[in-house]
Amino acid sequence: MPLFIIEIAGCFMFLFLEVFLAWVYSHLLEYVLHRFFLHNPKRKLLFRSHFGDHHKESRKSDMVDSKYVMKLNIFGDPELKGLVLLAILHLPVSYFFPVAYVTLVVSSISYAILHYRSHQDIYWARNNLPWHYDHHMGPNQNANWGVRSDIFDIIFGTRKEYKGTRKEIIRHQLIKMQHEK
């Protein structure tokens, strides 16, 4: 086999590894930040904004948070500001691993889109991100930390299923009936 084919295959394997590791890291970062920063009462500003405002409104309004229904505003939304800050903090990665950096930015955009969508439509959230639906609507809001995936909740034993339980089915039917009126 010619040497250049082996070199090309090696480059593709390296790029694949960069994308994969950045993708896994983005999910782990999402889990860690959500669990240990946004739900930590010692970090008063983050905790109050996330748990005090976002969780309270989501719980009261059947998963819907009015902030997520409005037009995106990078200057007024602490969550979007946080994603931009994370992109800036990870800029050094772009020098050594540009593909990994792009993967991290795409993961941030994916996170924002999915998180916003989940707080605009309870039915979409329940069907497409059941772990995030469980995080907000279930009895234990200190579980189910992943938004895009529940893989680290499964690994760390923090996945607590609520969707499909008797209590959830009854509550969901009541919500459906309210929305149909």
Whole-number pLDDT of residue 143: 96
| Cβ partners under 8 Å of residue 162, min gap 6 | 133, 134, 137, 138, 139, 168
Whole-number pLDDT of residue 136: 95
Across the chain, which has 181 residues, the per-10-residue mean pLDDT values are 68 92 98 91 75 83 85 77 94 96 97 94 95 95 96 98 94 85 68
Whole-number pLDDT of residue 176: 84
Whole-number pLDDT of residue 38: 87
For helices 130-137 and 98-118, give the axis angle rounded to 10 degrees. 50
Output the CA torsion sign for 32, 38, 44, 45: positive
Matching residue, tokens 């609520």: 162
Query: Whole-prediction pTM value?
Result: 0.89
